[in-house]
Amino acid sequence: MWTIFRLSLSQMLRPKRLLILLVVAAVPVALSIVAAITPPDGEDLVDFRDDVLMGPLVIAAVLPIITVVLATASLGHEVEDRTMTYLYLKPVPRWGIALPKIAAAAMVAGVVVVGSGVLTTAIAPEGSFTTSAAAAGGLAVGVLAYTSIFTWAGLMTSHALALGLVYVFVWEAAIVGFLQGVRWLSIRHYTEATIHGIDDIQFADDAAILNLGQALPAAAIVFALFTALTIRRIMRMDVP
């Protein structure tokens, strides 16, 4: 397992891809620096942090984009590049392929996304330790859930990245915004509910649908379900 984990890390930490992901993650941090130096006039600074920096940028963009890119590539590129055979034709249990792949994608995405969220909340006006801890906790939950779903999707289709972007920008951003009852099917809302659960000042306006006690089990179920589906897929697929 450790060998596959290290292999996955070295695949994900290729300089070009990492640089692009770091640039994406740096956008909200840069904006929070600007906001800290020149606070926006006539605006509630907590609202600005939540409604401009954390919500639309970190949670709705940085978190899903970085996680979906890494997770879909994690096993998806092994299949597309036909290197999956080197893992499959080894005396390694199938969960021993899936788990390190998910773990590596979650770790890299986690460091980048959580780092971005923590720095953004720490630097932005009205930042505090609790705010940053809440951001770290919520984003970690989001990273794990997205990673499990899109690692599985990467095995199922070569269009997993496009599918992921549709899920993020059509389903979560548009449809779930209008139909609040389906927030149960939105990782973004698990993330926001977790952040609100740790620091109840954040996302106070949006916290009515899910609470921490609901969001964490829901995220855990999603993670367990899609991890199991990934293992099952590896066992059943014809490896190209």
Partner 1 sequence: MATSETDRVANPATIPENGQGDEPTIAVMNVSKWFGDVVSVNDVSLEVRPGLTGLLGPNGAGKTTLLRMICGLARPSGGEIRVLGESVRNNPELYRRIGVMPEHQSTYDFMTGRQFVELNARLQGVPDVREAADHAIHQVDMKVAEDRQLGGYSRGMKQRMRLAAVMVHDPQVLLLDEPLSGTDPRQRIEFQELVVRLASEGRTIMISSHILEEVEAVADRILLLVGGKLAASGDYHVIRQKLSERPYVVRVGASDIRALAAGLITDPSVESISMDGEGFIKVLSRNVTALQIAVPRTAQALGIRLTRVDPLDDSLESVFTYLADR
Enumerate binding residues for partner 1 (CB under 8 A): 3-4, 7, 10-11, 14, 81-83, 85-94, 235-236, 238-239
Residue 83 C-beta: closest distance to partner 1, Å:
5
Which residue is associated with the tokens 């996302």?
A: 203
Instruction: Report which of 120, 115, 134 is spatially closest to residue 33, judged by C-alpha positions.
Output: 120
**In this structure, are residues 113 and 138 in contact, taking their beta carbons and an 8 Å threshold?**
no
Least separation in angstroms between CB 14 and partner 1: 7
How far, in Å, CA of 196 to CA of 170, rounded? 24
Q: Smallest gap, in angstroms, from Cβ of residue 95 to partner 1?
A: 11
Q: Is 64 left (phi over 0), alpha (psi -120 to 50) or beta?
A: alpha
Q: Write out the DSSP string of 194-226.
A: HHHHHSTTTTGGGTTS--HHHHHHHHHHHHHHH
Is the CB of 211 or the CB of 232 nearer to partner 1? 232
Nearest-approach distance from CB 191 to partner 1, in angstroms:
33
Comparison of 3 and 128: residue with beta carbon closer to partner 1? 3
Of the pair 9, 185, the CB lying nearest partner 1 is at: 9
Tokens representing residue 216 in the block: 């964490």
Q: Which is nearer to partner 1, 7 or 201 (CB)?
A: 7
Amino acid at 228: A
Rounded Cα distance, 100 and 102, in Å:
5
Please report how close the Cβ of residue 91 comes to partner 1 at its closest, in angstroms: 5
44 vs 80, beta carbon nearer partner 1: 80
Shortest distance, CB of residue 123 to partner 1, whole angstroms? 35
Residue 27 vs 94, nearer CB to partner 1 = 94
- Min dist. Cβ of residue 99 to partner 1 (A): 14
Q: What is the C-alpha separation between 59 and 95, in angstroms, rounded?
A: 30
DSSP state of 181: G
Q: Which is nearer to partner 1, 1 or 185 (CB)?
A: 1
Helices (H), the chain: 2-12, 15-37, 45-48, 63-80, 84-88, 94-123, 129-156, 160-166, 176-178, 187-198, 212-236
